Structure 1
Amino acid sequence: MERADTSFPDIAAFVGVAQTGSFTRAAENLGTSKSNVGKAVQRLEGRLGTRLFQRTTRAVRLTEDGETYLIAAQSALDGLRDAAQALAARKEEPIGRVRLDIPSGFRQLFLPTISDMRNRYPQVTLELSMTDRMSDAVGEGWDIVVRVGELSHDSEMTVRKLCDITLSLYASPDYLARSTPIEAASDLVNHDALIFRGFTGRLRPWFLNDNGHLRELSPTPVLIVSDGQALIDSTVIGLGISQLFDKVAQPYLDSGKLVKVLPSVDSPGPSAHALIPSGHRMPAKTRAVLNYLADRLR
């Protein structure tokens, strides 16, 4: 059996006539002509294969089939109206799911504060990925992707700077207690280096401030990792010295799990940016999470 092809404007015209008992008043309420309303009802009756109204010169009354269809039509239109209102509310209030992809090393900086974000935005559901791979924000459907370092130009993405980052050397108190003292950059060659391999496959050198000049140091590593959180964890358990972003190291510094090594060689690092797919106006839910991220990293 063929499915009836219904038209929502025709259904709205039918409901308007049923509620007012008049084609003329329905047309006035709908901002159209009596002729258009009459044609809409005729089309609907033709598709349904039944008469919906009994028409006389003095009155318009629903048939039994019309009464049955009116109940379903009103329910459908009310559902669409409720959905439209809900979608409008989503534009103004943070409601719904936000998919966020951040570097793995940001885990300790961000995870302990999610309950605070939940208190601020109780109707936001966060889907969180923590990885150092270069995910495709548009293709994989992410709402926000956080990147550290240089960005390729992409017209499909809106870029917002979140913060500047400083590169510093860190080690655990235990490692420093059982190792030779570090009083100058030249002493680093005698220590165990923990090195990060970036998504490009290149080992990331250490960048040191040498009296105002930026100098690269590529120490011989005792451990190479390609996961930012693994680099932090390896440093915390005392495997050696690593160069970390100051933002991600701060929670471990505050708890005493890490100690900064040679603060005098701290150097400016890359900036952190948020990438948001371009297009329509940013939803309130995405803007809320983005602003929260910026506050955490500022």
Structure 2
Amino acid sequence: MKTSGLGELEAILAVARHRSFRAAATDLGVSTSALSHAVAALEARIGVRLFNRTTRSVALSEAGAQFVDSVAPALSTIRVAIEQAGSFRDTLSGTLRINASVGAAKQAMPLFIAFLQRYPDMKLDLVTEGRLIDIVVDGFDAGIRLAETVPQDMIAVPFGDKQRFAVVGSPAYFAQHKAPRTPADLHAHRCIRTRMPSGAIYQWEFERRGETVRIDGKGALTLDEPGLMLEAARAGLGVTYLTEWNVAADLQAGTLVRVLEDWTPPLDGLCLYYPGRRHAPAGLRALIDMIREQADTQREQARTKRKARGSR
């Protein structure tokens, strides 16, 4: 661990990101004592405590929070400058840090695998979490989220197919409960509710011919993870509301039945997004190029299918 310059700044941001000296040290590949000394050295030099420490927790002080907000964007710009200089090498290399929801990461894995196969000297650091974060402050190069949640000051690159939600339940459940024909009918059903990362209960959203409806369904079970919701729905505990991507295998296998399909139109899908106020690092530009290549291939395949149907 360097004890001056960028090393100290990286140390501060890592501890702020993880709220733990041990976890930050592991992330940076240094010892906990070396990291602690680096942070203490910077605090001593500027004469301000950046972290409030107890035996159980580490949190930014008011001064520390202001320091991180100011330093993080500047350090991100420096990282990009270093990567840009390194991009003149014959082989693309470096580390690309991406933050995504679990579902977005699962959908993006084929792309990430292809990316690392094409650029074997690149490293990918993927962090999954439900809450929406500030990717600049937390030291990420990019994020992947649903288009509607991407901050407006970011550059967004559409990724993958459009998303669509589905209301599903098991055949056994619908053998005992009349299938809903309108969203209002869900008030008579057992709904497996969704808790958002913020702690709020997600209201199911529906739309048909310009009419929009939001339903706060009632039920005995509230969950915050799609896999658990699927398991509960398969067991006949009620109906749940998930993306088609999550329920496709069950619908094909017949373990779940879909209802209210005409009330769930397609929505904008995922986007890879990154700060618009600075140049993208070389690794991120290469990943964006692969996303656009895939989109071009999908459009060409769609045109070919349309032509084939038209010639019949």
TM range (shorter): 0.5 to 0.7
Asked if 2 retains the 8 angstrom alpha-carbon contact of 1:132 and 1:228, the reply is: no
Aligned partner letter, 1:139? V
The structure-2 alpha-carbon separation of the partners of 1:246 and 1:158, relative to structure 1 and needing over 3 Å to count, comes to same
Aligned partner letter, 2:187? V
Highest relative contact order (Cα 8 Å, sep 6+), 1 or 2? 1
Q: Unpaired runs of 5+ in structure 1?
A: 1-82
Aligned pair 1:101/2:125, yes or no?
Answer: no
Question: Shift of the alpha carbon at 1:287?
Answer: 2.5
After superposition, where does 1:20-35 map in structure 2 within 5 Å?
none
Q: Distance in 2 between matches of 1:218 and 1:127?
A: 37
Alignment partner, residue 196 of structure 2? 198
For the pair shown, which has the larger CA radius of gyration, 1 or 2?
A: 1
Question: Shift of the alpha carbon at 1:139?
Answer: 1.3
Which of 155, 160, 167 is the aligned partner of 1:158?
A: 155
Q: Distance in 2 between matches of 1:234 and 1:289?
A: 37
Q: Distance in 2 between matches of 1:290 and 1:221?
A: 42
Asked if 2 retains the 8 angstrom alpha-carbon contact of 1:105 and 1:232, the reply is: no
Question: Shift of the alpha carbon at 1:127?
Answer: 1.3
Asked if 1 retains the 8 angstrom alpha-carbon contact of 2:84 and 2:282, the reply is: no
Aligned partner letter, 2:157? R
The structure-2 alpha-carbon separation of the partners of 1:137 and 1:252, relative to structure 1 and needing over 3 Å to count, comes to farther
Alignment partner, residue 260 of structure 1? 258
Query: Share of identical aligned residues, percent?
Result: 22
Aligned residues: 211
Aligned partner letter, 1:129? V
Q: Distance in 2 between matches of 1:247 and 1:233?
A: 15
Q: Unpaired runs of 5+ in structure 2?
A: 1-81, 299-312
Alignment partner, residue 19 of structure 2? none
Asked if 2 retains the 8 angstrom alpha-carbon contact of 1:106 and 1:229, the reply is: no
Once the two structures are superposed, residues 187-216 of structure 1 have per-residue CA deviations (whole angstroms, 9 ceiling, x without a partner) of 433332122222444322112234541112
Alignment partner, residue 274 of structure 1? 272
Aligned partner letter, 1:159? A
Secondary structure at 1:122 match in 2: coil
TM-score by length of 1: 0.56
Question: Shift of the alpha carbon at 1:244?
Answer: 1.8
Aligned partner letter, 1:124? M
Alignment partner, residue 241 of structure 2? 243
Alignment partner, residue 145 of structure 1? 143
Alignment partner, residue 180 of structure 1? 177
